[in-house]
Each structure stands twice: as C-alpha cells, then as structure tokens.
Structure 1
Amino acid sequence: MAFESLTDKLQNVFKNLRKKGRLTEADVKAALKEVKMALLEADVSFKVVKQFMKAVQERAIGQDVMSGLNPGQMVIKIVNEELVKLMGSETTEIALKSGNEVTVLMMVGLQGAGKTTTTAKLAGKLKSKGKKPLLAACDVYRPAAIKQLQVNGEKQGVDVFSMGDKNSPVDIAKAAYEHAKNEKYNVLILDTAGRLHIDEDMMEELEKIKEAITVDQTLLVVDAMTGQDAVNVAETFGEKVGIDGVILTKMDGDTRGGAALSIKAISGKPILYVGMGEKLSDLEQFYPERMASRILGMGDVMSLIEKAQANLDEEKAKEMEQKFRKNSFGFDDYLESMNQMKNMGGLSSVLSMLPGVGSQMKDLEGMVDEKDMARKEAIILSMTPRERSHPEILNPSRKYRIAKGAGVDVSEVNRMVKQFEQAKKMMKQMPGLMGGKGGKRGKFKLPF
C-alpha cells in the first residue's frame, strides 16, 4: 500500500515525541531530521523536502510550541498542516461546463501508466454525477487500445466513438467533437496515444489536437510507482503541452508515494484523482487533508464512510452487527463479509483508512487474502448448515471431511477457522465502530 513505510516511520517519530512532557529545541530538531529522512526514502523530491522541512522547523521551534502544554502534539499538528499545504490545501474538481455545452477533456501520459483504463474510470465517475460522457479512441498506434477502450466503456455504460486505426488522431478528435455536439453528449474525453518515453512526435500530435478543437482541460495520467520519474513527466508535459491537472494511478501498489507529495509543489498543478485498484470503480477523488491524515497514520474515516455507502448493503451490515453482539456470527456471515469487503477494495484498503491501525497492518491483512477467496468459499460450502452456523462444533474429524470435500489440506481448514476467530475478535475490539470494547458506539459500522 502506498505510504506504508513512510507512515510506519513517521508514527515511530511521533510516538517518541508524545512520550516527552517537555521538548527542547534539540528534541524537535532530532525528530524533524528523522521526518526528513523518512520523506527522502519515500522518494519525495529533495527540493520539496528542503522547502517542507524549512516551513515545519520555522513553526515548530517557535515559542508558542515549545512552551505549550503538549508540544509533541503541536509538532504533529504542524507537520500535518504543512503536508496538506504541500499537496494543494484544497480539493480541486475538474471544471465542467454547464448544461449541454460539451466539455472536452484530453487524457495524456506515457504508455503503461494506465491511461486508457483511467479514461474509462473517469467517464464512470462523471456519469455517476449526472453527466453524459462520450469516449473518443484517439490512440491509433497501440494494438488493441481501441478495443480496450470499447470493452471498458461498455462495462461503464458509456459510449465510445471510434474511426478505427487508419485515420489520424486529429481527424478522430474533430469528428468526435462534432458527434458529441450533435448527439447531446456534454463531456468528451479523448484517449490519446502514449509512448514508452517522451518524444517530440507525441507532443506535436497533442498540440495539433489542441489547435483543431477547443480542449478545456488536459489531464495527465502518471504512474505513482515510478516515483520521481512521475514528477519529471509532469514537469515536461506541463512545459511542452500544458496540463491542468494530474491523475495518479497505482496508488494501491508497492509504491513509496513520493510522487503524490511532490507533483503539486513541482508542477504547480493539482492532483485530481488517484487510482486505488484495477477495478473500474477504483478511482478516488483526491483530498489533500485526507491523504495527509492517512500518511500520518491518523486514518481517513470520511473516505471509508463514502466507500461503504457506495458499496455496502446497509441492511446486511446491520444484521451482521447484531449477530456479532449476540455472538451468533457464523461462517455464512463470514463469507458474506468477505464479499462485501471485496466490494470495498479489500481488507488492506479498509484498514489503511482506520485511525491507528497502520502499525498493525501486516498482522491483520492475512485475515482475508483475496487471492485465497475461492478456497475459503469452497471450505465454507463443504460444511453442513449446522457447522456453518455453529463453528464451535468443528472437531478434527469434521475438519478432515470438510477438507476432503473442498479439495484442500486440513491445515487450510484449520487456518481459515483461526482467521475467522481473529476477525471476530478484531471487530469486537474495534473502538467506536462496532460499539465494542474501547469506545462509544459509533455512527458507522463495518460489514462484519
């Protein structure tokens, strides 16, 4: 998960700050030095880190902080506020024209960044907001690019305009614009060609499209896993073609996250959305304050609630919560909870948004391995209805029969039963969310 390593390091720094009642200037400087190293290791631009640390240090070593009742907490607050500033302070929306006027969005980026998939994801987002988008297949060079856009467009319920691969991208863009106007589409999204690296031909082609039709916003799609290269790409596209905003893909991958912290400061352009998975629904609006909160291990409950509202069956969630309280939660419910969790992007996605869970992520992620989902389902379906509703009766001979029926080793059955018990235990202890130990009853419940 993006920022996992950075979050762990920052949490350790802040834990040590909180332990001290009073802070000396030397304490603060030592802590900030560790923050600086953590940011550099996360592949944040050196120039950005230097400016960021200067701003934090000037505020953190002020008299008000040092003489305050809780200086450690104040330093953390300052780091949080400066992180938000670094990423843009305010959430930026894509500017869309009103009524039936066609807003033209041109998607640009390098090959492999996930541009075509992101184009379809964005169309789905805009459609859910009441817009009528049209996708235009302007990548005539990459084999299967047009087909990929058509398949994804169909999945999103969005129309795709294509003239095959024998026409020039400029002609396709012009024809698509006329079609959008005539057929009352109000957003036209151009999926342009990428390259393996930046070259003059690609830039020239994009400039020609801009000369042929009025492009309202040029959106750059960059791969967060490329770190500083993503920042360099943003800078170059900004200089050569001009960009209005950035969409970061693969933020769910094994990335250090430096691109998200550097792009706004270096390019001056806002991050609009972040891609958090391969599914066409896995595109999230970028909120600087929420991202800063995630990075500092404070969670992101607002995004979690929004994700839950969009993906969960509220009645089923309430039913499961009641079963937890009455201790009647069985394997059928466990299977249902795994499916609902999958709809929300998986356990790691949910856990990353919970306050204070960052340090326990590695221990908890093993409870629901999505690749292992089919085997778990086979194990549960090999149980009798009574075994599924009364897990406590699973003795060795029953487990052996279940393993044989599911085509797995008995050790897998034992492991799943153990994970089931861990999941029950964790949800009972989750403060504030399930109304269990450690907090008052919360307004939001997870589907367990």
Structure 2
Amino acid sequence: MFNNLSEKLDKALHTLKGHGKITEVNVAETLKEVRRALLDADVNFKIAKNFTKTVKEKALGQDVLTTLNPGQLMVKLVKDELTELMGGDTVGINLGGSPTVILMSGLQGSGKTTFSGKLANYLKTKKTKQVLLVGCDVYRPAAINQLRVVGEQIGVEVYAEEGNQNPVEISQNAIKHAKANGKNVVIIDTAGRLAVDEEMMTEISNIHKAVSPQETLFVVDSMTGQDAVNTAKAFNDVLNFDGVVLTKLDGDTRGGAALSIKSVVDKPIKFIGTGEKMDAIDVFHPSRMADRILGMGDVVSLVERAQEQYDEEEARKLQKKIAKNQFGFDDFLNQINQIKKMGSMKDLVGMIPGAGKALKDVDIDDDAFKGIEAIIHSMTPEERSTPSVINASRKKRIAKGSGTSVQEVNQLMKQFNQMSKMMKMMQGGGGRKMMQMMKGMR
C-alpha cells in the first residue's frame, strides 16, 4: 500500500534525520524532494505545491533549525499535513433513517458491486444490521447474478426485478420491500456510468431524488490516480455525494487519489477496500494512513483486528493448556486461523512499524501458512496433541504426507517449541497484562 510513495518520502526526509547541521537551504531541498515524491504519486501539482509550502511555513515558524531533533520534527510536520490533506478526522457512515438508504455510485469497473457486498457484510457483522442489497444495474450482463452470488456468500438478501428496466422504480419498490420485511439498511448498487454520459448521469440523479438516501457513496478505483479525482468532481457536481470509497488499495497504488480527492471535492474518504475477500474493508482513518505512508505502521488498527478475533473463553482454555504443558499442534493451528481472519498478510505486515520497509522486496503471500498447515494436517491426532511422540520415522512419514522435507518438519518443530516456551514464560498474568495493554491502545 503506497510502497513507492513511502520509499520516496523516506529518502526525501532521510537527510534531516541525521545529526548534521540543519539549515534553511536543506529544509527547502528536502521539501522539494517531498513535492517530487507527491507528484510521482500522481498528486495534483497545485496540491503538492501548497502542501510543501504549508510544511515549510510551519517548520520555520516552529524554528525547526534550532530544535534538538529537527529531522523528527520535520517528519511530524509532514505526517500532520498528510493527515489534514486526507481529511483530518475520521468520518463514519450515517446510519440514520428507517431504513437507512445507501446509494452507491461510480465508474464502470470501479468495484461498486463487490464493495456493496463488503459494506453489507460489514454492517451485518460489525453493526448487527439487517441489510438488503438492491440490484439496479439493468444494463450490464450478469450484473444481478454477480450481486446474488455476493449476497449468498455473506448471507444477505438481494432484491431485483427481472425484466424491469427502470432503476428508479426498482429502488423505490426495494425500500417498500425492506420496510415490510424488517430490513433496516438498504444498499442500492447502481450501474457504472461515465461522467460524460449525460443520460446515465441524469438517471442516477433521478434515483437519488426518488429515494433521498442518508448516504451517497462514490466508489473509485484508487489505481486510476489523478483521473479518479477528476471523475469524483464530475460526479459530485451532479450528486453532491457524502463520501468516497477507495477500492483496490492493496494493489500497486500510487496514492494520488487518496491524497488529492478530499482537497478537490471537499468530501471525506469513508471506507477503503484492501483485498478481494468480503471482510477486506476498513474505515478510513487519515491519521493512521499518514503513519503508514511514512513507514510508521498502524499499530492501533492491528490491535483492533486482533481484538475482533480475540475470544476470552478460548484464551482461558489456552492458558490452562499452556500451564499444564498441553499446548499442541491443534492449538497452534487455531492461532494460525485467527491470524488469517485478521486480513491479508501483506496488509498486516504493513501495520507493523518498520516492517513494510524491511520487507519491501519480499513477496508476502496469503498462502504463507500453507506448508505449515499441510505438515500439521499430515500428523495423527496423537501427534498433534502430544508433539513429543514425533520421532525420526514419524517425521519422514509426515514430510512425505505433506509434500515437504524432513528439514521443513524439523524447522516447524523448532518454531513450535520456541513458541511454546515463550507462551509458558508469559504465564502468571503476563499474557493478560499484554492484552490489557493492547486494549488500552484502542
């Protein structure tokens, strides 16, 4: 996520991170490189210029040249300005109304239908809402079928009218259906349209007027950079939407859309899509994203994801097993599954301060645990519950059954033993204190 931008900003700020003498000249030179990094990330020239001008004024206003650590102060100023550029405060979704009506808009191929499913899943699981998805894309072949597949996947009802080519009528009927069937959120998935297509823009404007949505979201593919910002302006002129959704942020995104869109349309980024799975959706936090762009990680989001998967009852059972030296490979497998539920490995690593930079050339696959899982699944129930019984001949059989080598089985055994020792050391309240500390960070 924003790897290229992060790397270039790090290089630009590196000259001020040392202990050398800081002057107005090298502050200006550093900010020139910062501006170049922003332009390379497809940020609008005027926005990039104003950004560096503001940072310079603040830096000189705080007498950065005579501070004990001017490099760190400059990083903080850039971070604060990045946060402001992306909106400053986190803006949540409006769930008022009975039912809440959410209208999705955007270009063809921006990921509206997939994101509609992600949002429905988010509201169902995190906000305990009864959601109805509505198929109003009456033009694209198989669009309704795609929405139905998504709805089935997440257990959410999909409303559609076969043969009806009037999306205004469909959306109005869907709201009546929602009221009659106890649904308190209606998400209307509309057809993708080009901003230059006057007829289609009029159509979505008519839908908007007919249903009076509490939230109108503009969905944009973040990989389209500055073009996305220009399109957002055209849509906002017609719809006056409430917020922006950036999809495909897990790709090789330059960052131009995320950094420019708030300045251009003066509307907050509310959500981001971070992968293909239905739970790959995050509320957008400008401050946390600024931290990630500057290589500081995002520990708060990482802790929140861990907390979502944390089951206190399971943790108590696990503690008892560890205390009795009964921690086995089935328990190890459960821990792996909890980590996998937290999101893509690449995204999780990016949340750890410094890890993104250290592993920038390492391809972190979501199948990173595949070999470990294969080895564990090749063990007998006795071997999984009592790892000490695994001898040389058993290792050979496990390696053959999992398609791995004896060396890989030995490596896993070594890692497992180290993890067991570490967890044993954390007994006596250590683990609980750690979790309490994590809760306090939220």
Query: TM-score, normalization: structure 2?
Result: 0.84
Closer, same or farther in 2 for the Cα pair 1:420/1:398, shift >3 Å? closer
Shift of 1:322: 9.5
Q: Is the 8 A contact 2:309 2:341 kept in 1?
A: yes
- Indicate the residue corresponding to 1:401 in structure 2: 397
Offset, 1:392: 12
* Counterpart-to-counterpart distance in 2, 1:77 and 1:308: 27
The 3-state SS of whatever aligns with 1:222 is strand
Whole-Å separation in 2 of the counterparts to 1:361 and 1:66:
33
Q: Which residue is equivalent to 1:288?
A: 286
Distance 1:212 1:364 in 2: 50
Superposed displacement of residue 9, structure 1: 3.0
The corresponding residue for 2:375 is 379
Aligned 8 A contact 1:22 1:70 in 2: no
Note closer, same or farther for the CA distance 1:130–1:53 as it changes in structure 2 (3 Å cut).
same
Q: Are 1:249 and 1:276, in contact at CA under 8 Å, matched by a contact in 2? A: yes
Inter-CA distance 400–137: structure 2 relative to 1 (3 Å threshold): same
Q: Tell which deviates more after alignment, 294-303 or 194-203.
A: 194-203
1:153 alignment partner in structure 2: 151
CA distance in 1, matches of 2:148, 2:115: 13
Contact preservation (8 Å) 1:14, 1:72:
yes
Within a 5 Å distance, the mapping from 1:117-266 to structure 2 comes to 117-127=114-124, 128-195=126-193, 198-266=196-264
Match of 2:73 in 1: 74
Counterpart in the other structure of 1:437: none
Query: Which amino acid in 2 is paired with 1:140?
Result: V
Gap change, CA 1:361 and 1:175, over 3 Å in 2 = same
Which amino acid is the alignment partner of residue 17 of structure 1? L
Structure 1 counterpart of 2:401, which letter?
G
The reply to whether residue 444 of structure 1 matches residue 438 of structure 2 is yes
Q: Is residue 107 of structure 1 aligned with residue 104 of structure 2?
A: yes
Equivalence for 1:8: 7
Aligned match of 1:31 = 30
Give me the whole-angstrom Cα distance separating, in 2, the residues matched to 1:47 and 1:298.
27
SS in 2 for 1:18: coil
| Structure 1 residue 245 displacement after superposition | 0.9
1:5-54: CA deviations, max 9, x gaps? Answer: 22233334444422125411122122222222222222222222111111
Deviations 1:409-443 (A, max 9, x none): 53xx64575578679989999xxx99xxxxx9672
**Equivalent-residue separation in structure 2 for 1:288 and 1:422 (angstroms):** 37
Q: 1:140 is paired with a residue of what secondary structure? A: coil
For 2:41 and 2:88, the matched residues in 1 are separated by: 21
After TM superposition, the score normalised by the length of structure 1 is: 0.83
The answer to whether residue 369 in structure 2 is matched with residue 370 in structure 1 is no
Check 1:409–1:15 CA distance in 2 against 1; reply closer, same or farther (3 A cut): same
What amino acid maps onto 1:115 in structure 2? K
CA distance in 2, matches of 1:392, 1:213: 66
CA RMSD of aligned residues (A): 3.5
Distance 1:222 1:392, change over 3 A: farther
Matched residues in 2 for 1:426 and 1:13: separation?
39
Q: Which amino acid aligns with 1:105?
A: I
1:320-335 aligned within 5 A = 331-335=329-333
Q: 1:179-235, CA deviations, whole angstroms, 9 ceiling, x for partnerless residues?
A: 234444333221101147752232121122123332333211111122222212211
Residue 246 of structure 1 aligns to a residue whose secondary structure is: strand
- Counterpart CA distance in 2 for 1:375 and 1:365 is 16
CA distance in 2, matches of 1:252, 1:189: 24
Percent identity at matched positions? Answer: 50
Tell me the residue number matched to 1:85.
Answer: 84
The verdict on how the C-alpha distance between 1:378 and 1:86 changes in structure 2, with shifts beyond 3 A counting, is same
Moved more, 307-316 or 161-170: 307-316
Query: Which letter does structure 2 place at the counterpart of 1:53?
Result: T
In 2, Cα distance between the equivalents of 1:420 and 1:346? 25
SS at match of 1:19: coil
| Structure 2: gaps (5+ residues) | 428-432
- The 8 Å contact of residues 324 and 428 in structure 1, kept in 2 or not, is answered as no
Aligned to 2:296: 298
Contact in 2 for aligned 1:44/1:259 (Cα 8 Å): yes
Partner in structure 1 of residue 430 of structure 2: none
Deviation at 1:339, TM superposition (A): 1.7
Alignment of 1:344-355 (within 5 A): 344-355=342-353
Q: For the Cα contact (< 8 Å) 2:164–2:170, is it kept in 1?
A: no
